[in-house]
Amino acid sequence: KQEVTQIPAALSVPEGENLVLNCSFTDSAIYNLQWFRQDPGKGLTSLLLIQSSQREQTSGRLNASLDKSSGRSTLYIAASQPGDSATYLCAVKPNTGNQFYFGTGTSLTVIP
Amino acid sequence: KAGVTQTPRYLIKTRGQQVTLSCSPISGHRSVSWYQQTPGQGLQFLFEYFSETQRNKGNFPGRFSGRQFSNSRSEMNVSTLELGDSALYLCASSLDPGGDEQYFGPGTRLTVT
């Protein structure tokens, strides 16, 4: 069974810093990996989707990389802002089935 | 295009009761998945429906069930509620089971007392 781990569980940084969130998974037979953002009590907002054949995806200040062979993905956030404060979740979709396996999330606080 | 909608947004029930939650996917999306989110277990997959058929099921007891209608709207039902069923229930839709991205609704917050 796919296990997804996110480190650190919580992170607090001053505004303007660049930061990296980590996601690791145990089974490299994935179809894609998706990063989500969740604000308190709310649903999930998709940030970036990386196909298994891709190495990275970028959207604005966000860059996600994927190293399938080592079972790792990172989400890089440049020039962090207080509005980036949220929980960030990574999820992997296996080659079979439409189910996502989610990590436990990293709670990010950006201090003004 | 409207997003995924879930009703109700908040629900308080008593132990032993049953509850039905509803999810309307994005127009044109035919696959609906349900997830349970709790502080202790994180996000866990409940089941997935496509063309009114359950295609995948997570590791949950039979008290959790669901269905999908011809218009792709889906409902999930939890019978004989337990305190541990208190959670945020999230619905996600995608074009079809092979769809790349899942789009999530705002969730239904269920509290069992």
The pLDDT-based confidence of B1 (bands split at 50, 70, 90) is low
Helices and strands counted in chain A (H then E):
0, 11
- Average pLDDT of each block of 10 consecutive residues along chain A (112 residues)? 92 97 95 94 91 95 96 97 97 84 95 96
- What pLDDT was estimated at residue B98? 66
Structure tokens at B100: 């790349």
Interface with A, mutate which of B41, B43, B48, B49 (most A CBs under 10 A)? B43
CA–CA gap between residue A67 and residue A55 (Å, rounded): 7
How distant is the alpha carbon of residue A68 from its chain centre?
14
CA–CA gap between residue A74 and residue B10 (Å, rounded): 34
CA–CA gap between residue B104 and residue B3 (Å, rounded): 8
Q: What is the DSSP letter of A107?
A: E
How distant is the alpha carbon of residue B26 from its chain centre?
14
Structure tokens at A57: 């995806």
- What pLDDT was estimated at residue B14? 98
CA–CA gap between residue A87 and residue A109 (Å, rounded): 9
CA–CA gap between residue B29 and residue B14 (Å, rounded): 34
Closest-CA residue of chain A to B49: A98
Q: Which residues of B touch A (CB under 8 A)?
A: 4, 31, 33, 35, 42-45, 48, 50, 55-56, 58, 88, 90, 92, 94, 97-107, 109
Structure tokens at A8: 């650190």
Of chain B, the end-to-end C-alpha distance in Å amounts to 37
